[in-house]
Chains A and B, each alone.
Chain A
Amino acid sequence: MQPVLTEKEEKRNTVIEPEEENWDLVIEPKHSLLDLKLKELWKYQDLLWLWVRREYVGAYKQTIMGPLWHFFSPIFGTLTYILIFGKIADLSTGGVPMFLFYNAGIAIWNFFNGCFSSSSGAFLSNAGIFGKVYFPRLIMPMASVISTLIKFGIQISLFLVVYLYVILAQDYRPDVGLGLFYVPLSLFLLAGIGFGFGIIVSSVTTKYRDLNMLVGFGMQLLMYATPIIYTYSSVDPDLKKYLALNPLVAPVEAFKHAVFGIGDFSAYSLLYSFCWMVVLLLLGIVLFNKAEKNFMDIV
């Protein structure tokens, strides 16, 4: 039975209700999974850039060579790959000079790996700051993806110097043209997949860290399942069927097509990778938002 309201009560209800219910923020134990909180993220965009700067500047304070250190690991990595995969295993580079081939491979893999691993540590490595103040937690892994992109930019500049030298001095003529437009697309796909997968791992491992162990060596295997140290076209057709399932193949091949003109990919394979990226991103953001709520209690 409905309670009968007097006129006065009715009036009060109608007057007070809209004012009282006008809350800017309601904190409840559960929230809608579909609320991706992207609007809030946009409000904090200044923090994103400042955080990138902090990570970047902070890392090289009191070093003399600063970001030049980024050259060292790819140079030595490339030399090792030349020795092991080029000279000893004698793998085909599809006619591309070895240094360029392995250097580009390392740069692109480091980029993906960097996006993934920095996002996957988002909760654990920022636990201190997350415990003290609220801001959209997604800012942190996003900032690390951007700093990974900067790092890639530095590493690829080394590649470009050698690339131009080889073209001018050694008469290497790669079949490059409009294909260069594939570079941003390829980076976008790799960053999206790495970020999405990373924040999924980050959210799932806040309480039970077992998955972290698996992921460490899984990434190593994944590198060998991606045409980094070999050319995709040289792979046995029977094996190719399985390799094609790896969403990283198409963007990596697109990148190689762009700079060397030797990639083996199609619009469908790129679309396949794109679908992976969308699914991983959506799932990642949903899980991440769910995990951020109480992660301080269980981390």
Chain B
Amino acid sequence: MSVVIKAENISKQYRLGEVGTGSLKDDFKRWRYQLMGKEDPFLTVGEENDRTIKSNADYVWALRNVNFEVNKGDILGIIGKNGAGKSTLLKILSRTTGPTTGSLKMKGRIASLLEVGTGFHGELSGRENIFLNGAIMGMGKAEIKKKFDEIVDFAGVEKYIDTPVKRYSSGMYVRLAFGVAAHLEPDIMIVDEVLAVGDAEFQKKALGKMQSVSKGEGRTVIFVSHDLNAVSQLCTRGLLMKHGQVSHVGQISEIISQYLSDDVKKPVYINSFPSASKPLIIQKVAVLKSNGKIASDFFHDEPVSLKFEIKINDPHIKANLFVMILDGKKRRVFACESESVHSNMLLKIDSNFLVRGNYSIHAFINQPKIKQIDVVEDECHFNIIDSGSIMAKHYEYDYGVVFGKYSWSV
């Protein structure tokens, strides 16, 4: 098998915030370093990309040292959560933006379908747009002419071919656009979530087309989607992205199960990339039974304990820990605050308080009235199971999130 794509140490840095005097200052510094023949000073700064953690850094790495190879004929599925760097990687692959460092080597013609119908002009007819779109993707006029009938047939728009595409339904529009790209005969085809738009029949057709270009014609396809069904049907290999880095590469089934296991809601939160620049960091939070064991299922008459491990880089800073409990609908149940921060802290929630359902927590380290130093959002998932409370018979009814403390009198 020959390698057709080789990514070596690809990184992409973005600047946060607006373009203004701040960025001008940084640009001057960059130029000065360049003139002196030194390396770009901003390549050494920047945080790993995790949107859930509030950051004070100006630079962020959307991709960090990404390495992979793709063989000829592979259908590679790229999966990962939102913000894992999939789209940035695709942008670099399709050359709409360049990498900050590293290099990418490719063999053959590349066609990208980052968004279907690129360059379509609503006022022009389907026929004119086929030619235009094909040319944008690098086809010559003669080549498109040869493929024209096939494209129209694939898209199923014979009747409307001389109508301006602004009159098309969104499905027709996508089919036409995908048709052009699919008949481009690229050696490498990059596809991003286009299938979400068409109807079931079209989706099947598109998947089939992608499969046939890979298997039958030995072309390479890179497919990015959140639709794990489509990915598992279509792809042979997978690449799992996490926080801008390649987390796993391998057979698609392994990668999908890896992705799903990452996604299981865990009763433990661990900060795997603690930033050294913060004075206080929430390193680990665990949900514990009264015997001290980590667990995710609790009976309603059992106490739930939250154990916080906090890394103290600066012991002089005055701060407190603020914890909020959320129910399954992300409604806030209650919040509490500590007086100070210690490296090990335990918060006990009394038994007979939370009703049955799923819960999670937000936790912040606050410098009161100054700023939030560290934030953990919607982590440490646990379940409360009603083992026979007074409300147990209303099991399907939303009767609130806590057992009230009350008494009747007549």
Interface residues of A (CB under 8 A from B): 19-20, 22-29, 43-44, 46-47, 50-51, 53-54, 57-58, 61-62, 129-135, 207-208, 293-294, 296-298
Contacts and interface: CB of A to CB of B under 8 A. Distances in A.
B95 A134 contact: yes
B115 interface: yes
B121 A27 contact: no
> Size band of the B side of the interface?
35 or more
Contacts of B270: none
Contacts, number: 112
A54 B91 CA distance: 26
A137 to B, nearest CB: 10
B105 A25 contact: yes
15 contacts: A25-B107, A28-B103, A28-B104, A43-B138, A44-B138, A50-B131, A50-B141, A53-B128, A54-B119, A57-B123, A133-B112, A135-B138, A207-B27, A296-B91, A298-B19
B132 A27 contact: no
Given A23-B107, A50-B131, A29 B99 contact: yes
Contacts of B1: none
B272 interface: no
Interface of B: 2-3, 6, 14, 19, 23-24, 27, 91-92, 94-110, 112, 114-115, 118-119, 121, 123-124, 128, 131-132, 135-141, 164
Contact of B103 (A27, A57, A129): A27
A29 B100 contact: yes
A20 B2 CA distance: 9
Given A54-B132, A57-B123, A133 B104 contact: no
B96 A58 contact: no
Given A24-B109, A58-B121, 18 more contacts: A19-B2, A23-B106, A23-B107, A24-B106, A24-B107, A25-B110, A27-B92, A29-B100, A43-B138, A46-B140, A47-B132, A47-B136, A61-B123, A129-B118, A131-B96, A133-B114, A133-B118, A135-B138
Nearest to A48: B135
Contact of A24 (B14, B108, B118): B108
A54 B124 contact: yes
A29 B131 contact: no
A26 B110 CA distance: 12
A214 B108 CA distance: 44
B106 A57 contact: no
A67 to B, nearest CB: 15
Given A23-B106, A23-B107, A57-B124, A29 B96 contact: no
